[in-house]
Amino acid sequence: MLTESDLVRYGRQILYTDFGEEGQRRLKRSHVVVAGLGGLGSASSVYLACAGIGHITVVDGDLVELSNLNRQILHWEEDIGERKTLSAVRKLAKLNPSVEVTPLFERITLSNVGGIIEGAHTVIDGMDNFETRFILNSACVGAGIPFIHAGINGLLGEVTTIIPRKTPCFACIFPQGPAEEGAIPAFGVTPALMAALQVTEAVKLLAGFGDLLAGKMLYYNGETMEFTVVDLVRDPECSVCGF
């Protein structure tokens, strides 16, 4: 049920023909998990809250550091030393008090991932490492929850939407991750752009319209301003979703 305030707040997106009031009601009933509150997760949680996702769970086990502030727009100078989850909840509550935000101050592991994603309608990848993405991917495939992946490196970015058992999963695309290579170059705008694309995917997925990057990977090259979309294929011998 949309309130009078909802109709005003979301009025401009409700005007979108394929979305409308029913789309908004669907977002309001939705629960999205944002896994990681770095450059990607900061921006995606802001746009999820703006869009009126009814329940957002934000997960991160880190504290805010000065070196985060060039790209993690949810965290400010005054938040240094604070839990990223608390910093996020405070900002998101001011941005849109009608959205329920649940903070989970923990690192995602094999043992806790099931509880973290339980009941979610989609999971947004805001991680900065492969290991945790593998954990999330396996759990999402197992639970049948769509997983919207993004990654960045400098002015490069990538996005794909993983629909369990229907599209290639993360492990089909990357059977193994690269060796850890330390700090990765990052401008704030690259994760912001990729996060905006992730939320675009989430809104379409949850409201039920448009075409998704399902089985496709969008690559962005900010240095040449090229967007490239390629087709991905499922691996029948994939250790996670093989058939």
Partner 1 sequence: MAKMSVTVRLQLLLSQFADGQEVVEITADNNIDCLNNLTAQFPGLRRWLFTKQGEVATYVRLFINRQQASVDAELKDGDELLILLAAVGG
φ and ψ at residue 52, rounded to 5 degrees:
90, 30
Q: Least distance (Å) from partner 1 to the CB of residue 157?
A: 6
Lookup: tokens for 160: 């794909």
Lookup: tokens for 76: 């400010």
Nearer to partner 1, 40 or 162 (CB): 40
Nearer to partner 1, 27 or 186 (CB): 186
Q: Least distance (Å) from partner 1 to the CB of residue 178?
A: 4
What is the spatial distance between Cα 109 and Cα 25, in angstroms, rounded to a whole number? 33
Q: Least distance (Å) from partner 1 to the CB of residue 89?
A: 20
Q: Least distance (Å) from partner 1 to the CB of residue 41?
A: 7
Kindly list the residues in this chain that would bind partner 1 in the complex (CB under 8 A).
36, 38-41, 125-130, 150-158, 168, 173-178, 181, 184-186, 191, 219, 221, 223-224, 228-233
What is the spatial distance between Cα 200 and Cα 180, in angstroms, rounded to a whole number? 30
Nearer to partner 1, 76 or 174 (CB): 174
What is the spatial distance between Cα 122 and Cα 147, in angstroms, rounded to a whole number? 6
Q: Least distance (Å) from partner 1 to the CB of residue 123?
A: 14
Sequence-ordered alpha helix ranges (H) in the chain: 4-9, 11-14, 20-28, 39-51, 84-95, 113-117, 130-143, 170-173, 189-207
